[in-house]
Amino acid sequence: MRIYTNFDLTDYNSYRVKAHCDKAYFPENEEDVVSFFKTNRDFILLGSGHNIIFSKEHYQKPMVIFNGNYNAINLIDEGLLEVEAGAMMWDVAKFALNNALSGLEIFWDIPSSLGGAVVMNAGASGEEIKDVLVKVRYLDLSDHTVKEILKEDISFEYRNSFFQKNTDKIVLKAWLQLQKGNKESISEKMETIKAQRWAKQPKEFPNGGSVFKRPPGYYVGAIMDELGLKGFTIGGAKISEKHGGFIINFNKATGQDILAIITEVKRQVWEKYQIDLEVEQRVI
């Protein structure tokens, strides 16, 4: 276990909002994870930092971070990957490519750890992590025992799961079943997906991805167009002119800048459409 005091969190959130915490823990194996949670009951769990908004500049609660640690990826059977919670999904997709395995191409450019992907059922273009998931190993904080759960019992929904609804269950690792494929075809699909995303999304600025869940029958980007909110700015944050579903940090934005934009967007959308936009990102 690596432990740091007065830890700078700026590089551990994709908005690149400046923040720090009194103490940060980086588990390196399952034993580290179990021992941390047995001795710490009040904490903040942070994955890759790509789907979160820091609302404060200073956190007194200890943070346990899965980012560049606890990230082993192993091929244990034909097409079956065993992946630890801290592994980045683009690294898992690359590992699959190197082994000529198909099923994770969509994750080549999705910024998420394996743990985060499972919790929120990450995906795009109609494909989701649940499509390849077999089972998950997790730590149950209610009794501090390690358990396993099959995909069929995780209650996956659009950007939701058993783990999102039960925050006392900590994902440790998961098994993914992939299919044998052609390396060239897999690589071509990965690069096509990446090019399409870069063409549409504001990758040139720090951002946390899509801010709001898509309401039934609507697209958030189209709503932002109709309301004239592209480019709407508060402090150093603004709604991207490239894609209205994203908020970008273009000039030293704070978490409060981002949250103020979200509040105003929700107000205007409710006023015009009577839609209560649901925030997809986790506010810490």
Q: pLDDT by residue (tens digit) across 125-157?
A: 788 999 999 999 999 999 999 999 999 998 878
pLDDT band at 41 (very low <50, low <70, confident <90, very high): confident
- Percentage of the chain exceeding pLDDT 90: 73
**Does the residue 214 lie in any domain?**
no
Clarify whether residues 59 and 78 are in a common domain. no
**Does the residue 212 lie in any domain?**
no
**Does the residue 16 lie in any domain?**
yes
Among 65, 91, 112, identify where a domain stops: 65
**pLDDT tens sequence across 232-252:** 999 999 999 999 999 999 999
With b for 16 or more beta-carbon neighbours within 10 A and e for fewer, the 173-194 pattern comes to bbbbbbeebeeeebeebbeebb
pLDDT band at 118 (very low <50, low <70, confident <90, very high): very high
H helices within the chain, ranges in order?
A: 30-39, 89-98, 114-120, 162-165, 183-200, 220-227, 255-273
Average pLDDT of span 214-234: 93
Q: What 3-state DSSP class applies to 267? A: helix
Clarify whether residues 14 and 61 are in a common domain. yes
Clarify whether residues 89 and 145 are in a common domain. yes
Residue 238: CB atoms within 10 A of its CB come to 24
Strands 52-53 and 282-283 turn out to be parallel
Tokens of 150: 């099959």
Q: What 3-state DSSP class applies to 178? A: coil
Those residues whose C-beta lies under 8 Å from the C-beta of residue 204, and which sit 6 or more positions away, are none
CATH number for 52: 3.30.43.10
Strands 63-65 and 44-46 turn out to be parallel
**Does the residue 97 lie in any domain?**
yes
pLDDT band at 280 (very low <50, low <70, confident <90, very high): confident
Tokens of 228: 């004239």
Tokens of 127: 């494909």
Average pLDDT of span 207-221: 91
Does position 28 have pLDDT exceeding 80, yes or no?
yes
Clarify whether residues 7 and 106 are in a common domain. no
Clarify whether residues 181 and 271 are in a common domain. no
Radius of gyration over every alpha carbon of the chain, rounded to an integer in angstroms: 19
CATH number for 194: 3.30.465.10
Predicted local confidence at residue 231, as pLDDT:
96
Which positions are catalytic?
Answer: 159, 210, 280
- Give the integer Cα–Cα distance in Å for 263 and 276: 11
Question: What range does the domain containing 239 cover?
Answer: 220-283
**Does the residue 184 lie in any domain?**
yes
Judge whether 237 and 249 are in contact, CB under 8 Å: yes
Average pLDDT of span 72-95: 95
Of 124, 45, 57, 116, nearest to 86 by C-alpha is: 116
User: pLDDT higher for 156 or 187?
Assistant: 187
pLDDT band at 90 (very low <50, low <70, confident <90, very high): very high
Judge whether 33 and 70 are in contact, CB under 8 Å: yes
Clarify whether residues 93 and 185 are in a common domain. yes
- Give the integer Cα–Cα distance in Å for 267 and 261: 10
**Does the residue 203 lie in any domain?**
no
- Give the integer Cα–Cα distance in Å for 211 and 194: 19
**Does the residue 213 lie in any domain?**
no
CATH number for 263: 3.90.78.10
**Does the residue 208 lie in any domain?**
no
Clarify whether residues 146 and 179 are in a common domain. yes
pLDDT band at 228 (very low <50, low <70, confident <90, very high): very high
Clarify whether residues 59 and 152 are in a common domain. no
Number of structural domains the chain divides into:
3
Clarify whether residues 175 and 277 are in a common domain. no
Clarify whether residues 58 and 36 are in a common domain. yes
Clarify whether residues 33 and 77 are in a common domain. no
